[in-house]
Structure 1
Amino acid sequence: MSKNRKIANIVLCLIFVSFAIMQLNDPDGWLWFIIYLVVAALCLINNFRTINKGILWVTFIGLLAYSAFHFSLFIDYLQTDNKEEIFGEMVYEKPYLEGSREFLGLLLAALAIFYQIRGKKTQ
């Protein structure tokens, strides 16, 4: 594995660890903490060990499948006028905000796993 790929995996690991930590104040934070921590771990482990492609594919497909549950909320968000709301506080009257954040987080996680699948060190 190239040095650049190892550095990218470390950066991805740190990003997803920080995502995991930020979830701890959410009502369902434990779920998101686990999701992001698993992605971080897979990125880091792939620097040192060969990860079975089947595990990576199952994780990738699982993340995409879970993101599908949030897709309609993301579409609702795209149809709003005030796009900056996504960076604000959670508003219970606007479930599309949290759903959009969750959709985008799952999409980023899936992309990080896809990056691992495309790597040379996987089986």
Structure 2
Amino acid sequence: MLLLILNSVFCLAFAGFAYVNLNDKDSWLWVSIYMVASIACAFAAFEYYFPTAYLIAIIFYLIYAIVLFFSKEGVLDWITKYKQESIVQSMQATKPYIEKTREFFGLLIISAALAMNYFVVQ
């Protein structure tokens, strides 16, 4: 029952995140990322599991998260250079390090949701 609730919440949240990314310049990437996670959670809510797909997506998302972490004006710069300036002050991310940090944490959340489903079937 808990897994049904978690997957339902993740499914709706990721679909919502995809929706708010429709107006971004890189919407093709982020809508795809969030919709893959949303669909995977929807299937898992109905107890249809695809562990290989989860693993492939998790690997892709974590590699991309590492790229965002170490990229110029990325998460590492946000931590060291900008002293962890608030990333929730405005939804209009005009500073690249804030946008990359938000994307980084989004990828970690998606990876955790997919990992939850991956380990359920193992």
Shorter-chain TM-score category? Answer: 0.7 to 0.9
Please report the RMSD computed on the Cα atoms of aligned residues, expressed in angstroms.
Answer: 1.5
Tell me how far apart the structure 1 counterparts of residues 15 and 28 of structure 2 sit (CA, whole Å). 13
1:71-108 alpha-carbon deviations (Å, 9 max, x no partner)? 12111111213622x222322xx321111111111111
1:46-95 alpha-carbon deviations (Å, 9 max, x no partner)? 122432321111111111011111012111111213622x222322xx32
Q: Which runs of 5+ in 2 are unaligned?
A: none
Q: What TM-score does the superposition give when structure 1 sets the normalisation length? A: 0.86
Q: What TM-score does the superposition give when structure 2 sets the normalisation length? A: 0.86
Superposed structure 1 runs of 4+ greater than 4 Å apart? none
Note if contact 2:18-2:31 (Cα within 8 Å) is conserved in structure 1.
yes
Is residue 90 of structure 1 aligned with residue 67 of structure 2?
A: no
The alignment of Structure 1 onto Structure 2 pairs a total of residues equal to 116
> Which residue is 1:26 aligned to?
24
Tell me how far apart the structure 2 counterparts of residues 19 and 78 of structure 1 sit (CA, whole Å). 24
Q: Which runs of 5+ in 1 are unaligned?
A: none
Secondary structure of the corresponding residue to residue 101 of structure 1: helix
Among all aligned residue pairs of Structure 1 and Structure 2, give the percentage whose two residues are the same amino acid.
Answer: 33
1:52 maps to amino acid:
F
